[in-house]
Structure 1
Amino acid sequence: MNATWQSHLGAKGARFTDFSVQFNDDARQDVVLASQGTVVVPLQHLGTIRATGEDAAVFLHNLFSNDVKKLGSNEAQLTSFNTAKGRMLASIVLWREGGDYLLTLSADIHAAMLKKLSMYVLRSKVRLMDDSGDCVLIGLAGPQAGAALEAAGLHIPGTPRATASGVATVVRLEGARFIVSAPLSEALGLWDKFVASGAVPAGTAAWQWADIVQGQPSITQPIQEEFVAQMLNFDLIGGVSFNKGCYPGQEIVARTHYLGKLKKRMFRVHVDVAEAPAPGTDVFSPEFGEQSAGKVVMAAPAPGSGFEALIVLQTSSADSTEVHLASPQGPSVSFLPLPYALA
C-alpha cells in the first residue's frame, strides 16, 4: 500500500496488518456497520496488475477462463487463471481503463501471480506492471453507496459488472457494491468526500463478509490449486466462458461442464466458533467419515455471533445438512441462502 495513502487513513483511525485494515477494536463491529448501513472500505486485501500494449487483450484472453476479447470499454468481468489441470490459481476481477486492462486479485498472491503471468509474455506486445503503488482501490457498499459516488462527482454504472470513467474508474458489483479505482492524487480527496456524504469507514472484514453474502469467492494462497472453477460456482456467477478458445486448464473445465460430473459446489454457511475458520480448513460429513468432504474457502465475522463462510462441499453431504468443521466431531455448520441458484 502506498505510504501516503496509509498515512492518510492512519490519521483517521485505520490500523493495518499485512493484507487487512481495521477501524474498530473488534472486526465484527466493521461487519455490523456494513450490515446496517453504507460503508467505505480501503481494499487493502486486493492487489492490482496493469496490462498495457497492443496485444494485451489477446494475451489475457489466451490465459484466462473468460472471454477477454468481448470485454467492452465500460464493462468488467470475473475470470480465473488456472493450472493445466484446471485448478484455480487466482480469481480476478478484470476491467478496462482506456487502452489498458486492470486486474484485481488477492494481495497475498499478487506478487507471485505477476511473476507467473510475466513468464507467458515472450514476444507478445504487452507489459504487465504492479499497479498497487499508483492505483488505490476503495470499496463502497450499502444503500447509500450510489449517493456517495454522486456526492464525490463520480458516475454510477447502470448495471452490475459495468464501469464508469472519470477522475476515477467505478466498477459496479452485485449487492449495491462498488470498487473505485483511483490514482493516489484523487483517492485522498475521494475518501474524504465519501465519508462526508455519510459512508462510515470500515475494515477488510466488512468487505469480505459482503463477498460471502453475495457468494463471490476469492482465491488466496492457502487454497490455490484446490478447486476447479465450477466448484467455486464460477460458471454460475459469470466467471467462465464455454465458447472461447483454449486457455490453461480449459479441457478440464469444459469436460466438467459438458459431461456433468461435478460432485462439489460452494455453499454459504454459519458456524458458532470463537476464531475464524482458516481458508483450507477441512469440513466433514457422516457420509464420508474420517475423509474430508470439502474445505473452507473464506470466512468473516457474522454480524451477530460466530462466523459466516463459503465452503466447497460434496453436494451429497449438503443434501444431508449434517456437516462439521475441522473434524468429524467438530462444530456443526448451518446453511445460509445464496443470491443465486445452485445448478
Structure 2
Amino acid sequence: MSTWSDALHFAPLSLTSSDSLPTLALVDLADWALVTLVGDDKKSYLQGQVTCDVVSLSPEQSTLGAHCDAKGKMRTIFRLFHHQQGYGLFQRQSVMATQLPELKKYAVFSKVDIEPSEDVLLGLCGEQAQARIDSLFTGDSDVRQQDNATAVKIDDQRWLIAVAPQQAEALAQTLAADAQLSTSALWDLYDIRAALPRIDASTELEHVPQALNLQAVDGISFKKGCYVGQETVARAKYRGTNKRAMFIMQGDAAQCPQAGDAIERSVGENWRKGGTVIAGYQFADQQAIALVVLPNDLDDDTQFRLADAPESRWTVQALPYSLDDE
C-alpha cells in the first residue's frame, strides 16, 4: 500500500457558511478514482460508450461525460482527459466496482486496455492555485503533462493532479509547503457551488444525464454517433421527456447530507418525497449545502426539508449556469 501521505495530515477544514475559502489548499482526493484507457482502439472504443465527443477532445482540453446503460441511466459521470499514453477518466471511487466491469465488457474485441490507475489524485484549490500550477507544470493549456504526472484545470480556482505513486510524496510535500491540507470534503464544496454533477453508488442507474444538468456543462454531444443509451438521451432533449433537473440547495442540518438522501417538498399541508441528494457539504454553523435532483416544474413557493430532519427548511439557490436549451 502506498505511504505517500504518511508525513502529511489531511483533515476536514472547519468552515462556516459565511467563511472565505483558503487562498491555497491541497486536497487528498481519496474518495475519487482514475480509470485509464490505452491501446490503438482507445478513442473509437470510448467514443461508442460515453455521452461526450471523445474524437474531438484535444490534448489541451478536458470534458465531462457520462457512461450510461442501454436505458440511458447513468453508471457514472467522469472528467475525461489525455493522460500519459492514453486517456484518464476521473470519477467517484464508489462506482468503480460496478461501472468499470461494464465499461470493459466489450473491450475484448478491441485493442484497448482499461484498468484502474494506481496514480495518486490530488486537488489544488484557491485563488493561488493557478500560479502554483504555472510554477510546476510547463505550458499554458488546461491539461499539462510531464513525466509521471498530469495536471487538469477544473475551473478558475481548481486543478486536479494525477501523479505516479513514486513521485507523489515529493510533489505533495512541495505543494503542502504553502497550502492548507484538507480532505476531499473541500473538493465537494467547490463541486456543489459550481453545480458539477457526479454519480455515487447510491445514485447509480437512477437518472438520465439531463436530470443532473450534464447538457448544461458540455458533457453531452448531440452531434456524435451512437453510444450506449443514446436514444434515451436524445429523446430527453428533442421530445422533452426529462422532467427533472439538479439544483443547489442550502438549509439547516445537524449532519452532512449524503448522496441518496431524500428531500421532501410541501404539497398543501402534507410532505412528499421531492428529490434526491447528489452531494452534500456540512458547515460548522449547522448549515449545509447540497446538490439535489428535483422536478423541474415546481412552484416558486414550494417548501423543502430533509426527510430525516422534519424541522429543517431548505431553499433553492441560483445555479452558476443556465438550463435553457440553446
**Could you tell me the TM-score, scaled by structure 1's length?**
0.87
- From 105, 112, 118, the equivalent of 2:104 is 118
Deviation, 1:142, is 0.6
Which residue identity does 2:315 align to in structure 1? S
Which residue number corresponds to residue 231 of structure 1?
211
Which residue identity does 1:218 align to in structure 2? R
Deviation, 1:34, is 7.3
1:169-209, Cα deviation, whole Å (9 max, x unpaired):
1100124110011112222111111122x221111111111
Do 1:30 and 1:205's aligned partners in 2 also have CA atoms closer than 8 Å? no
Counterpart CA distance in 2 for 1:32 and 1:329 is 24
Q: 1:267 and 2:247 equivalent?
A: yes
Do 2:28 and 2:123's aligned partners in 1 also have CA atoms closer than 8 Å? yes
Counterpart CA distance in 2 for 1:31 and 1:331 is 16
Deviation, 1:3, is 2.0
Counterpart CA distance in 1 for 2:43 and 2:193 is 32
Q: 1:72 and 2:58 equivalent?
A: yes
Counterpart CA distance in 2 for 1:244 and 1:30 is 44
Counterpart CA distance in 2 for 1:156 and 1:315 is 42
Counterpart CA distance in 2 for 1:326 and 1:263 is 21
1:135-172, Cα deviation, whole Å (9 max, x unpaired):
11110111000122234x213644xxx31122321100
Do 1:284 and 1:328's aligned partners in 2 also have CA atoms closer than 8 Å? no
1:41-88, Cα deviation, whole Å (9 max, x unpaired):
011111111111000001111000011111112221100011111111
Deviation, 1:12, is 2.1
Higher helix share: 1
**Could you tell me the TM-score, scaled by structure 2's length?**
0.92
User: Counterpart of 1:64 in 2: which secondary structure?
Assistant: coil
Do 1:139 and 1:207's aligned partners in 2 also have CA atoms closer than 8 Å? yes
1:250-309, Cα deviation, whole Å (9 max, x unpaired):
111101101123321110011211111221122222248554222111101236432110
- From 185, 193, 213, the equivalent of 2:174 is 193
Which residue number corresponds to residue 45 of structure 2?
59
Counterpart CA distance in 1 for 2:16 and 2:139 is 25
Which residue number corresponds to residue 4 of structure 1?
3
Deviation, 1:36, is 3.4
Which residue number corresponds to residue 134 of structure 2?
150
Alpha-carbon distance change, 32 to 59 in structure 1, aligned in 2, over 3 angstroms: farther
Query: What are the within-5 Å matches in structure 2 for residues 208-247 of structure 1?
Result: 208-247=188-227
- What percent identity do the matched residue pairs reach? 28
Counterpart CA distance in 1 for 2:40 and 2:291 is 38
Which residue number corresponds to residue 291 of structure 2?
310
1:212-263, Cα deviation, whole Å (9 max, x unpaired):
0110121000001111101100000011001111111111110110112332
Query: What are the within-5 Å matches in structure 2 for residues 33-52 of structure 1?
Result: 35-52=21-38
Which residue number corresponds to residue 17 of structure 1?
none
RMSD: 2.2
Alpha-carbon distance change, 119 to 213 in structure 1, aligned in 2, over 3 angstroms: same
Q: Point out where structure 2 has 5 or more consecutive residues left out of the alignment.
A: none
Which residue identity does 1:3 align to in structure 2? S
Which residue number corresponds to residue 129 of structure 1?
115
Counterpart CA distance in 2 for 1:257 and 1:28 is 41
Alpha-carbon distance change, 98 to 329 in structure 1, aligned in 2, over 3 angstroms: closer
Alpha-carbon distance change, 271 to 30 in structure 1, aligned in 2, over 3 angstroms: closer
Deviation, 1:106, is 0.6
User: Counterpart of 2:250 in 1: which secondary structure?
Assistant: strand
Which residue number corresponds to residue 231 of structure 2?
251
Which residue identity does 1:236 align to in structure 2? A
- From 163, 186, 196, the equivalent of 1:206 is 186
Counterpart CA distance in 2 for 1:114 and 1:337 is 34
Counterpart CA distance in 1 for 2:122 and 2:52 is 25
Q: 1:184 and 2:165 equivalent?
A: yes
Higher strand share: 2
Which residue number corresponds to residue 260 of structure 2?
280
User: Counterpart of 2:297 in 1: which secondary structure?
Assistant: helix
Deviates further, 282-291 or 30-39: 30-39
Counterpart CA distance in 2 for 1:199 and 1:245 is 44
Q: Point out where structure 1 has 5 or more consecutive residues left out of the alignment.
A: 15-22
Counterpart CA distance in 2 for 1:3 and 1:156 is 30
Do 1:285 and 1:328's aligned partners in 2 also have CA atoms closer than 8 Å? no
